[in-house]
Amino acid sequence: MFISILVLFLVVTVFAGAGGLFLALKLFKAENLSYKKSLIIFIAVGVVDAVVDMIVNFILPGAESIFIFIASFVVLAYFLRKHYQMSWGKSAAIYFIHPIITLPAYMILVFVMYSFVGQVFVVAGSSMDPTYNNSDVVLVNMLDKKFDRGEVLIFNPPNDSDYQISRVVGLPLEKISIREGQVWINDSLVSENYSDETTPGDISITLEENQYFVMGDNRGSSFDSRNFGPISKSNILGSVFYKTYSASY
């Protein structure tokens, strides 16, 4: 479901961008104006941007922006001259006007995406080492509200407005016990292949409905349900879907 929504969001974003280019061309009174041509041009520019970004980022990290700017303008000007006989001057004007025309549509798309579908979260601290490290950037799935043991959640701890990352260990109505460095669920020892550390603490608690017990993988340095207690489902933003990159690089 979440992947389908992301793909749909990408497709809508591309069509919105092509629509902005179409309106920009209409503003400059392009003859034989075609939305299909605008879509092809917009996709071509996007593909060139992505290729240039990968190549330059590999050869000369940090300088990709200027190369993307040049490449995208050259490709846009080439297609505008080929299909609409636009001059370099008009191509430059369209290049700068297009983002302005498209901005309202993109703002609406981003608002919908961040409010109901998914968000980007930057990991802070070492509580989830080595699975997720400080400055790692992850995508958060906000659609699926059914959380299973082992999933990594982004949530607000009780009485705290700052988001935090931890893994689900205990599910609603389960009894969670920590003793002698091990975790027990309903008096059965839990096998945790995501953490090879012992778990400090001496806890025995039975969760209520819609409550979850969460802990970081770095058990010796994690501030989690052992400190602030269970978290409510209403305080959960979503589950981590994908790690994109590290912001520290």
Can you give the pLDDT at residue 8?
Answer: 87
Output the six-digit token pair for 206: 């039975």
Least confident of 45-49, 80-84, 234-238, 240-244: 240-244
Cα–Cα distance for residue pair 3/171, rounded to 1 Å: 25
Is residue 191 very low, low, confident or very high in pLDDT (cuts 50, 70, 90)? confident
Owning domain of residue 50: 2-117
Distance CA 176, CA 199 (A): 13
Q: In terms of DSSP H, where are the helices of the chain?
A: 2-27, 35-59, 64-84, 88-112, 225-228
Q: Which residues make Cβ contacts (< 8 Å) with residue 91, sequence separation at least 6?
A: 73, 76, 77, 80, 81
* Mean predicted lDDT score pLDDT of the chain: 92
The pTM (predicted TM-score) of the whole model is 0.74
Mark whether 21 and 38 lie in a shared domain.
Answer: yes
pLDDT at 247: 57
- How confident is residue 19, by pLDDT bands cut at 50, 70 and 90? very high
Query: Both 104 and 133 in a single domain?
Result: no
Of 77, 98, 117, the domain-final residue: 117
For a pLDDT cut of 90, what percent of the chain falls above it?
A: 74
pLDDT at 88 over 70: yes
**86 and 164 part of one domain:** no
Are 169 and 106 found together in one domain? no
Where a domain ends, among 83, 117, 151?
117
Count of CB atoms situated within 10 Å of the CB of 245: 10
Comparison of pLDDT for 247 and 82, the residue scoring more: 82
pLDDT tens profile 135-189: 999 999 998 889 999 999 999 999 888 999 999 999 999 999 999 899 999 989 9
Which pLDDT belongs to residue 249?
A: 47
pLDDT tens string 136-151: 999 999 988 899 999 9
Label the pairing between strands 231-232 and 211-215.
antiparallel
Distance CA 125, CA 37 (A): 48
Between 32-36, 154-158, 195-199, 217-221, the lowest mean confidence (pLDDT) is in 195-199
105 backbone φψ class: left, alpha, beta (φ>0; ψ -120 to 50): alpha
pLDDT digits (tens, 9 = 90+) for 24-40: 999 999 989 999 999 99
Q: Which of 94, 117, 140 is the last residue of a domain?
A: 117
pLDDT at 1: 67
Q: Do 214 and 231 contact (CB within 8 A), yes or no?
A: yes
